[in-house]
Amino acid sequence: MDNKLLIKTFEPRKENMLNILHVLQNNNPQNFLTSDDIKLVANYLNITYSSVYGVAKYYTMFSLKPRGKYVIRVCKSPMCHMIGNKEILQEIENSLEIKPGETSPDKLFSVEETECLGRCAKSPVLMINDKTFTALDKEKIKNILQTIRFDEQNIK
């Protein structure tokens, strides 16, 4: 759906800003908020560009620069850290040849580090877009990435 129509599903009140930003970001194939999106929200809520920008910039789930189709968020909280998230992150870095904060050249993947995802009984964990993957090891994450790549090639 077009963003201009999408935003109308919300009442034009400032307290809806976070919900609106989530929806706009999810509607972007590259999982980020464009400056047009920020302008659209500012106009719709009748507030300044900077007050929308300030909010979008503050919250770590929002990105103001293009990301991959799949955003991988690796939990680095104390429990995942203790059980071994380093190994998982290493495997992702090797496989995709990118570091946290970067996007792969084919624009398919972005990698980020995130704080506790609340799945500590099944550490280490990560999220890919809105799906959570738990009790990971090297093999598992390899398979997950391969499956995504395979699906993407089939789409093409």
Partner 1 sequence: MISEKRIALKNAGKYNPENINNYLSTGGYKNVKKAYKLNPSEIIDLLIDSKLRGRGGAGFPTGLKEKFTNESVCNRCIQKYIVCNADEGEPGTFKDRVIMEQDPHVLIEGMLIAAYAIGATKGFIYIRGEYTDSIKIVRNALEQAYQNGLLGKNIFESGFDLDLEIKLGAGSYLCGEELTLLESLEGKRGYPRIKPPFPAEKGLFGMPTLINNVETFAHIPYIIEYGAEHYKSIGTANTPGTKIFTISGDVNKPGYYETALGVTLRQLIRDLAGGVKNNKKIKAVLIGGAAGTFVDESVMETPIGFDTLKEKGAVLGSGAIMVMSEERSLFDMLHSILEFFKHESCGKCVPCRIGTSQLLLIMSDSKKTVSERKTILEKLLYEAEYMAKSSLCPLGQSPIIPIRSINQFFNDQF
In angstroms, give the least distance from the CB of 91 to partner 1: 19
Among 121, 151, 154, 155, binds partner 1 (CB under 8 A): 121
In angstroms, give the least distance from the CB of 120 to partner 1: 4
Question: Which part of the chain contacts partner 1 (CB under 8 A), choosing from 31-39, 87-95, 127-135, 147-155?
Answer: 127-135
Q: Show the 3-state SS of 102-154.
A: CECCCCCEEEEEECCCCCHHHCCCEEECCEEECCCCHHHHHHHHHHHHHHHHH
By the 10 Å C-beta count (0-12 exposed, 13-18 middle, 19+ buried), 21 is classed as buried
Question: Which part of the chain contacts partner 1 (CB under 8 A), choosing from 30-38, 87-95, 123-131, 144-152?
Answer: 123-131
Question: Which part of the chain contacts partner 1 (CB under 8 A), choosing from 29-37, 102-110, 121-129, 146-154?
Answer: 121-129
